[in-house]
Structure 1
Amino acid sequence: MSDALFQNSYYIGNNFNCILYGVELVLYTMTMQRLLKHKSRRTRPDIFFMFFSTINLLLITIYVAVESVFGEEMWIVNASFPGGDSAYLQQYAAVWYQTMGTTASVALNLLSDGLMIYRCFVVWSDIRVVIIPCILYLATLALGIVELYTSGAPAGNFFSGLAAQLGVSYYATSIGLNIIATSIITGRIIYVGRVSRRSLGAENSQAYFSVAAIIVESALPYSLSGFAFLVSYGLNSEISILFLSFYVMFTCVSPQMLVLRVVEGRAWKRNQASDTVTTTFAFTSYLPTEGSFAAEDSGIHVHLESAQKRDVSLEDVEKRTQQGSSHRGL
């Protein structure tokens, strides 16, 4: 691969950074408008999402600014640097503000992964599901610190040498966590969606089980862009800088889309899957009168309804079952 391919990929990546940063600003504004709308009814999760969204925006702003400034320094301010753009990149890849940008991207990655692990727990309501993601999260934290040290050291380079080798391990662990979390969430949503369509109908279950809902809930763009970057980065391809831009930007945009969906009340909540799948049987006795339907032997009419539409506890079902049995005995 030629150095020209890397420079063009870097330039295109910076342009996409600006585009996706604008998307992030819109999502952030919509989120804060909804969170600030009802001050008297603000809950603890609302405060958390306010801080989470603001920190995300701050970190992605640092990353976008750093990449833009470095590009300006490399292509415009130091256009006549001895050896050209590649020599400037090799000389100043570990400049302090580049290290700051890498630190912002690693911190952003940790925040987003933490949110993904939490959403896995919300969708499944089972702590056992997040054991492996939590182990990978701790490994990502440790490798991220080492990666920052090696890439920020004098003469360090994110795309070559020891920093690049450690970077493959770091991103493989982090993106592996993304893919596992996305698969866990997507699989659960698809399974519950199929069950709910049989009981609720396609129209009533559309809000939680549509394609858009699956993409947002599972942060699918985040995982797909990470996988594309990991492959190109592992192959030491010059185009990896372009996929890195997509990956870092979706590290911010995808979680922000999920947060917006949560504050709008359209995201999954705890125990929603079990409430949707669980069905209840209401047993009611009917006398064989004109215009009504009655069972010849048992006299029981069975209604199958979802737990979302009727709040019938298991104790109520048992009582109604016993009443039905007593009627049959009479």
Structure 2
Amino acid sequence: MTSLPADTSAFMSAALESILYGFSILMFIGTVWALTYKRRMRDVNRPVAVVTVLLLLVSTAHIIMTIIHVENGLVKYRDTWPGGPAAFFTDITEETYVIKHALYISQTVLADGLMIYRCYALWRSVRVIIVPSLLWCAVVVTGIRAVYGTSQATSDPGDVFAIDVEKWIVAFIVLTLTSNLLCSGLLIYRIWNIERRVSKIRASNSTMMPIVRVLVDAAVLYTVMLLGLLICFLAENDGESVLTDIAVPVVSITFYMVIIRITTSCRHHLSTASTSRTTEEMEQRKMQQYQTKSLEVHISRCTQDDSASTYKVGDEDRPSTGIEEI
């Protein structure tokens, strides 16, 4: 299968990653705002906040290493590396190449761990996350083994598809894909089930379906990226280097968009519930005031008629008039 030249794919991946990294910065700012807006520090979801910051740090480190990698291949070692830039970018034992892929593994492990935490927070059951946790452990093991194998490749360091490490990389991709699909399915089913039961007794028009839609969108985006990466490895196409680089900011973007949507939706539900309670309390207060006022008018009329000894049982002085006004 025809592949991109190594130097061309390296430059392309750096350009695409830079664009996506800039967008992930905007999403990070939106996530911080959603987590902290009108909240005290003790009310902020700390595990989610910590992972949010770590995702930014890892993606920042990755884009820095990508720039250094490209600068080394195209400028620093352009005339001194045996075989030129093309050979430099195909050498999988090169230090910046190994560090970049180690950062990608770290980003994936963080994101998968956050997905498992969301499942536990929503289901409140350890049994639900047993299988995702086992998959997560397998992702960690295969990821570490893939990075180690890449750094120790000596038989053919210029071809990632010709060494033993390829099977570990494929296993890593399949496991993280399975883990994310399973966790996304658990989250979507749980929210849909809650929505189905609550909709029968809900007084307001608020709904949690937008959260389901954003979870589906994030799962589809991440799945398409991983499937593309898997296909490139199975087809032995060098486009895998481009997808691996852009996968780091894409992971951040997908999780930022989910956090923003969930946080804003929960705040909207709380605001709607608070408004409904306030409105109900005001209506009850008005009703009580109206009832008290009507009762006072009725008593004053009865007192006046008794003092004048002219109490009449007629349509104008009937006691039921005050009750009808309540």
TM-score normalised over the length of structure 1: 0.68
1:15 Cα shift?
A: 1.8
Give the letter for the 2:66 counterpart: E
Q: Deviations over 1:253-272 (max 9, x none)?
A: 21222333344453899xxx
Aligned-partner Cα distance in 2 for 1:196–1:213: 20
Aligned length: 265
Aligned-partner Cα distance in 1 for 2:37–2:185: 34
Question: For residues 182 and 105 of structure 1, do their structure 2 counterparts lie closer, same or farther at Cα, with a shift above 3 Å needed?
Answer: same
Q: Normalized per residue, which structure has more strand?
A: 1
Is 1:13–1:246's contact at 8 Å kept on the other side of the alignment? yes
1:221 Cα shift?
A: 1.9
1:113 Cα shift?
A: 0.4
Select the structure of larger CA radius of gyration. 2
Is 1:232–1:240's contact at 8 Å kept on the other side of the alignment? yes
Which of the numbers 175, 200, 205 marks the counterpart of 2:207?
Answer: 205
- Give the match for residue 168 of structure 2: 166
- Give the match for residue 310 of structure 1: none
1:54 Cα shift?
A: 1.7
Unmatched runs of 5 consecutive residues or more in structure 2: 270-326
Which one scores higher on RCO, CA 8 angstroms, separation ≥ 6? 2
Question: For residues 220 and 42 of structure 1, do their structure 2 counterparts lie closer, same or farther at Cα, with a shift above 3 Å needed?
Answer: farther
Q: Is residue 229 from structure 1 mapped to residue 222 from structure 2 by the alignment? A: no
Aligned-partner Cα distance in 2 for 1:154–1:6: 18
Q: Deviations over 1:213-241 (max 9, x none)?
A: 5435xx44223311221222222222222
Give the letter for the 2:111 counterpart: S
Q: Deviations over 1:23-71 (max 9, x none)?
A: 11112222334545557x2226533333222211111111112122212
Is 2:48–2:114's contact at 8 Å kept on the other side of the alignment? no
Question: For residues 44 and 102 of structure 1, do their structure 2 counterparts lie closer, same or farther at Cα, with a shift above 3 Å needed?
Answer: farther
Give the letter for the 1:223 counterpart: T
Aligned-partner Cα distance in 2 for 1:129–1:149: 32
Q: Deviations over 1:184-242 (max 9, x none)?
A: 223444455455556659952266456335435xx442233112212222222222223
- Give the match for residue 311 of structure 1: none
Is 1:150–1:163's contact at 8 Å kept on the other side of the alignment? yes
> Map of 1:107-256 to 2, 5 A cutoff?
107-153=106-152, 155=154, 156=157, 159-160=160-161, 161-193=163-195, 200=202, 203-205=205-207, 208-209=210-211, 211-212=213-214, 214-216=216-218, 219-256=219-256
Stretch of structure 1 that moved more, 17-26 or 260-269: 260-269
> Map of 1:86-97 to 2, 5 A cutoff?
86-91=86-91, 93-97=92-96
TM-score normalised over the length of structure 2: 0.69
Is 1:123–1:268's contact at 8 Å kept on the other side of the alignment? no
Q: Deviations over 1:89-126 (max 9, x none)?
A: 244x3222322222221111111101111122233333
Q: Normalized per residue, which structure has more helix?
A: 2
Stretch of structure 1 that moved more, 76-85 or 121-130: 76-85
- Give the match for residue 83 of structure 2: 83
Aligned-partner Cα distance in 1 for 2:204–2:45: 31
Unmatched runs of 5 consecutive residues or more in structure 1: 270-330
Question: For residues 200 and 227 of structure 1, do their structure 2 counterparts lie closer, same or farther at Cα, with a shift above 3 Å needed?
Answer: farther
Aligned-partner Cα distance in 1 for 2:211–2:8: 40
Is 1:116–1:181's contact at 8 Å kept on the other side of the alignment? yes
Question: For residues 238 and 75 of structure 1, do their structure 2 counterparts lie closer, same or farther at Cα, with a shift above 3 Å needed?
Answer: same
Aligned-partner Cα distance in 1 for 2:231–2:268: 32
Aligned-partner Cα distance in 2 for 1:128–1:254: 26
